[in-house]
Amino acid sequence: MSHDITPPPPPMPGYTPPFGFPPPQPPKKPRTVIVAAAAAVVAAAVAAALTATVTGNSEAEAAPTVTVTETVPAEGTDTAADTDSDPTDEESSGDSDAYALDDTVTYDNDVEVSMSKFSRAVSSDYASPENTPYAKFTIKIVNNSDKTIDASGMTVNCAYGDEGREGESIFDDGLDGLPDTRILAGRSLSVPWGCELPKAETFLQVEAAPDFDSETAIFTGNVK
Q: List pLDDT tens digits, range 89-148.
A: 334 344 447 899 999 999 999 999 999 999 999 999 999 999 999 999 999 999 999 999
Task: Identify the H or E element spanning 165.
Answer: strand 165-167
Of 123 and 26, more confident: 123
What's the rounded mean pLDDT across residues 207-211? Answer: 95
Closest to 157 in 3D by CA, of 220, 79, 95: 220
| pLDDT surpassing 50 at residue 202 | yes
Do residues 116 and 137 touch, judged by C-beta distance below 8 A?
A: yes
The answer to whether 139 and 193 are in contact (CB under 8 A) is yes
Can you spell out the DSSP letters for 89-148?
A: TS---S-TT-EETT-EEE-TTSEEEEEEEEEEEE--TTSBSSS-EEEEEEEEEEE-SSS-
Task: Measure the CA–CA gap between 17 and 65, rounded to whole angstroms.
Answer: 85
User: Per-residue pLDDT averaged across 15-21, rounded?
Assistant: 53
Selection from 167, 146, 147 nearest residue 158 by Cα: 167
Closest CA to 206 of 175, 168, 151, 176: 168
pLDDT at residue 26 above 80? no
Q: Give the residue, 87 or 3, on which the prediction is more confident.
A: 3
Task: To the nearest 10°, report the CA torsion of 72, 77, 78, 81.
Answer: 80
Residue 12 pLDDT > 90: no
Percentage of the chain lying above the pLDDT 90 cut? 54
